[in-house]
Structure 1
Amino acid sequence: MINHRPASLDEHLLAAWNQIPSAHACDCMGRLSGSIGLRAYHGDANLVMCGMAITVRVRPGDNLMIHKAMLMAQPGDVIVVDGAGDLSQAVIGGLMRTTALARQLGGFVINGAVRDLNEWAEGTIPVYALGHTPRGPSKTGPGEVNVPINCAGMAVQPGDLMIGDADGVVSVPRDRLESLLDEVKEHALREENIRQRNAAQGGDEDRINELLRSLGCPV
């Protein structure tokens, strides 16, 4: 099954979310959404990812539908692949990176393996994967494009927003982008206040004691 690309996300929302750390987004979604086990292979800890998800489900070790998804994607889109966590064959490599750069894609999130690590380590385009192997893929299918998937512990719908940084990747539901943005900004202010108190006082005894009392622990 190959479904159409979702409508593009609002450019102003994308620009705003591009400044949001993945940890802050995760905190504001109940600390339940966020990648598990992914490793960044792009060699630049300062490189961030922020783009709309083009989702792909593939048979382990096969990348035919990933190629199709890349051809459907627009600049800035992120290819998100459910490869069933298989590490026996890589589903993306250096040749696909060349295509992605030419098409100005926003990155890759792979619930599976990559190869050609030296090329990915040159940076420019973010890539997160569970692991790597020199063993290459097949191109016989089957697979699906733009369907709901599970990727590295995240439920991802086509058209969701994918943000990634040195901490990992978070999928933000498309219908929560506006409302959650305000929450994330407020959360960032709270954390900055805590950071300043910690730096000035070596910790915030009042805050910790209040938390302990709320849990029934006398202090």
Structure 2
Amino acid sequence: MEDSTLTHVRGYEEDPAGLWAHLASLYADSGVGAAVRLLREFAAVKYRGGVDDMAKVMGRIRSIADELEQNHEDRPSDNQIIAIMLNSVSGNPDFKDPITTLENSKEPLTINDVEIALIRRARNIKDDGNASSGGVTGIDDGHLASAMMTTRTIIRCSNCQHIGHLIQDCFREGGGKEGQYPQWYLDLRKKKDEEETAMAATAVKSYAF
């Protein structure tokens, strides 16, 4: 092992398990790197106008938030998601007034409120641009509903506080399907266990030499 690594090993000569846990906390790909990359991508989502579909942009923000929760148990708060949604259009002058209105709202904002407002604004801008060639000005409820179909409705479990299911379908302790783990969860746990076992063997082998 390199001298820089040996510095962290001292004190664990008789404790291989403790050595592995300590080295893993320092060097292992425990998912922190992936979470950081997702958070950077989360903050960088932008609506560029033109051919961009606002509903898809909003859907991407929700999707990253969902992935942070499912894979890293680190879901951004609703206010953080709203802030990212507003930030995604902050560089577009056409959204200056809607942003100001939303930020100055005296009523509590919800993710859906912000998403609907931004989709409506984007569609109205696009329709206004097509008005001279026969486009329909404004956006009706039917078009808005269609746009919202590209995003997911937030469903949160009152038992585990994770999204995507209700308590009757929750497989965690206290849920209606406690212990009935879905295949994706079993696969994820198996993969993590295999990675931890392989890294532990590597760390112990390296230490032995």
Task: Say whether the fold is shared (TM-score over 0.5).
Answer: no
Q: Under a length normalisation based on structure 1, what TM-score does the superposition of the two structures give?
A: 0.26
Higher helix share goes to which structure? Answer: 2
Which has more strand, going by share of residues? 1
Q: RCO (CA 8 Å, sep 6+): is it higher in 1 or 2?
A: 1
Pick the structure with greater CA Rg.
2
